[in-house]
Each structure stands twice: as structure tokens, then as C-alpha cells.
Amino acid sequence: MIKAIFFDIDGTLVSFDTHRVPDSAVKALKTLREKGIKIFIATGRHLKAINNLGDLEFDGYITLNGSYCIEGKKKVIYKHSIKPENIRSLMKYQHEVEKFPCIYVQENNFALNYENQEVDDLVRLLDFPREVLNPLTHLKGDVYQLIAFFAPEQEKILCLLFLIARQPAGILLLQM
């Protein structure tokens, strides 16, 4: 017997074109609830960036690709941050070698070192709430996800940077 079902948001429950959940999915979710099946969201998004599910209710959220899990909408049941030395290593690399945009995702904050067209395109594609993006000066405390925007030729060095640090988990690298 099925007791729970997990759904992704972007491109699964929510269309990239309409940025909303179709009526057919809303009806299916209601049917699952009526059968006593718990429904969860499993996403790379932060809870604050989940702005496209309307008034749908879920039993919990696996957010930030599993780095931050919530029962209901308030009770944190698991969190795992990126090691601070890995964040420092990336910042040092960007300061000394080359810069590229990074969004540092924290428990209650999104810090962005700088913005370019690729960041703007992703924000628009995902209908991401721009008002939650803060300057890097707001970065204090644990980072649960890192979204880095880089060119294909930068991939090898960046992957090595994090493999040497032995903790690639929680890091989402997006090629431009």
C-alpha cells in the first residue's frame, strides 16, 4: 500500500510555461489526500522560493536537494550545510583567480555575489522571487546550497576545487 508520494516542482507539478499547477494535478493531489496518502515536495528550491503551488497543502518539504527538510511548513527535521571551509575556498578562488555569479542559499537568506544575464535568465525561467536575493554582505552563517554560474571551460577547475575539499554535496553548478 502506498503511504506517501514525493513530487518535484519545476517541470513536474509546475509548467515552465505557465508557472502554475494544472487543474488536473490539483485534482489528482486531492484524490491522493482522500485516500490517506501523504504528499510531499522534493525540490532544489528553498521553501521561500516555492511561490508557485498556490494554496495546495503538503505534509512536508525536502528542499535544497535534500539539505533542508521540513515537516509541514515550520518544523525543521533535518539540515546539512556545506562545510564552511569549502565556502571560504570558493570565495578565495573568486577573489584571487576569477569571478562568476554564485547564489549562496542559507536558512533564511539568499546572497548573490553579482548578477549577469545567465542569473537573470534563470530567475525569470523559474519565476524566482527577486526580492529575496541579497548582496553578499548579508552572508553570515551556514550555507545549505550553492548555485554557481560558470562557463564550460571553468568546469574542470571548479569540480577539482570541490572534489579536493571532499564535499560536493549541496553544490549546484550551472554551466552558462
**β-strand 110-112 against 60-63: which pairing, if any?**
unpaired
pLDDT of residue 162: 62
Instruction: Give average pLDDT by consecutive 10-residue segment, the chain, 176 residues.
Output: 92 86 94 96 89 90 94 93 86 83 86 81 74 72 86 73 51 44
pLDDT of residue 28: 95
Calpha distance 41→74 (Å, rounded)? 14
Q: Provide the whole-model pTM.
A: 0.77
Which residue type, as a one-letter code, is found at position 90? L
CA atoms within 13 A on the CB side of 44: 15
pLDDT of residue 78: 96
Map residue 31 onto helix, strand or coil.
helix
- Please tell me the chain's helix, strand, coil percentages from 3-state DSSP, rounded to the nearest 5: 35, 25, 40
pLDDT of residue 167: 43
